[in-house]
């Protein structure tokens, strides 16, 4: 479905991004894995290449405009079809105890990075036949998840950035959508809630479907929103949450 398409996935050294990059490559895309973690990013690409897939790693600090510009310039070779803005972090310090530095780190990683990569990607996508941007938001862009106010605020920003991109760039045949996962079983989740099976089971019960999401669940939704099968869908927020926000 993505034969010869150039796809950039940020935060692709781990979790949702790693799975998404791998799925795109399995669908014959030329994938660019971008991450600040050089060791894990290079290992992901080495694994993909061992499986005969087409991928390169570009070490990128997504909070830096110079790095984002370099990523997109390196990636494109004159062509960029899909940008997946996935990288993100969670800091769960209560708001009244959160330092200015923690706030800035969250906003820079979760929201500014998406502005910077989109800005440079759009310059290549405008004038091409079509393009797709998929942002990884969260159910916390739709409802306030308790105890992570600053994270929720960044994801609210991702939601409106997505809708604004959709509206402003539809005339250029560029679509922008986001996915809104509830808790997904990734290294981020191991850090935030711990790796204890009973805690994970309790969290899983918050979803009517009764399990945590997997990186595959989210990657499937991202590939759909990047594909021509969703050609009339833009500005949408697709929940991948086992029914969490349906209650």
- Inter-helix orientation angle 113-125/65-76, to 10°: 30
Query: CA-based angle 212:217:220, to the nearest 5?
Result: 170
Angle at 13 between CA 126 and CA 219, to 5 degrees: 65
Judged by beta carbon, residue 98 or residue 128, the one nearer ligand NAD is: 98
Q: Are strands 55-59 and 82-85 parallel, antiparallel or unpaired?
A: unpaired
Closest distance of CB 127 from ligand NAD, Å = 28
What's the min distance (Å) between Cβ of 189 and ligand NAD?
5
Token digits of residue 113: 């990075």
Cβ at position 86, least distance to ligand NAD in Å: 5
Residues that bind ligand NAD (CB under 6 A): 11, 13-17, 35-37, 60-63, 86-89, 109, 136, 138, 181, 183-184, 186-189
Return the number of the residue (30 or 60) whose C-beta is nearest ligand NAD: 60
Residue 43 or 128 with smaller CB distance to ligand NAD: 43
Pick the closer one to ligand NAD by CB: 89 or 128: 89
How much is the CA Rg of the chain, to the nearest whole Å?
17
| Closest distance to ligand NAD from the beta carbon of 55 (Å) | 15
Q: Which residues, in sequence order, are CB contacts of 28 under 8 Å at separation 6+?
A: 1, 2, 3, 4, 54
Q: Which residues are catalytic?
A: 151
């Amino acid at each position: 479905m993505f034969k010869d398409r150039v796809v950039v996935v940020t935060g692709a050294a781990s979790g949702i991004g790693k799975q998404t990059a791998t799925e795109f490559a399995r669908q014959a895309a030329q994938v660019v894995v971008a991450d600040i973690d050089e060791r894990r990013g290079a290992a992901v690409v080495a694994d993909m290449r061992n499986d005969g897939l087409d991928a390169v790693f570009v070490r990128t600090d997504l909070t830096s405009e110079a790095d984002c510009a370099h990523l997109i310039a390196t990636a494109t070779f004159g062509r960029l079809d899909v940008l997946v803005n996935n990288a993100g972090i969670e800091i769960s310090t209560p708001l009244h105890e959160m330092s200015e530095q923690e706030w800035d780190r969250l906003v820079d990683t979760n929201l500014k990075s998406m502005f910077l990569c989109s800005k440079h990607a759009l310059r290549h996508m405008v004038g091409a036949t079509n393009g797709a941007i998929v942002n990884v938001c969260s159910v916390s862009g739709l409802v306030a998840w308790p105890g992570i106010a600053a994270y929720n605020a960044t994801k609210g920003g991702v939601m409106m950035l997505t809708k604004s991109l959709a509206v402003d760039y539809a005339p250029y045949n560029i679509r922008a959508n986001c996915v809104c996962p509830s808790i997904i079983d990734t290294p981020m989740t191991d850090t935030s809630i711990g790796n204890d099976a009973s805690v994970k089971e309790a969290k899983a019960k918050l979803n009517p479907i009764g399990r945590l999401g997997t990186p595959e669940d989210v990657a499937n939704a991202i590939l759909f929103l990047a594909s021509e099968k969703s050609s009339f869908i833009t500005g949408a927020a697709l929940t991948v949450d086992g029914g969490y926000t349906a209650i």
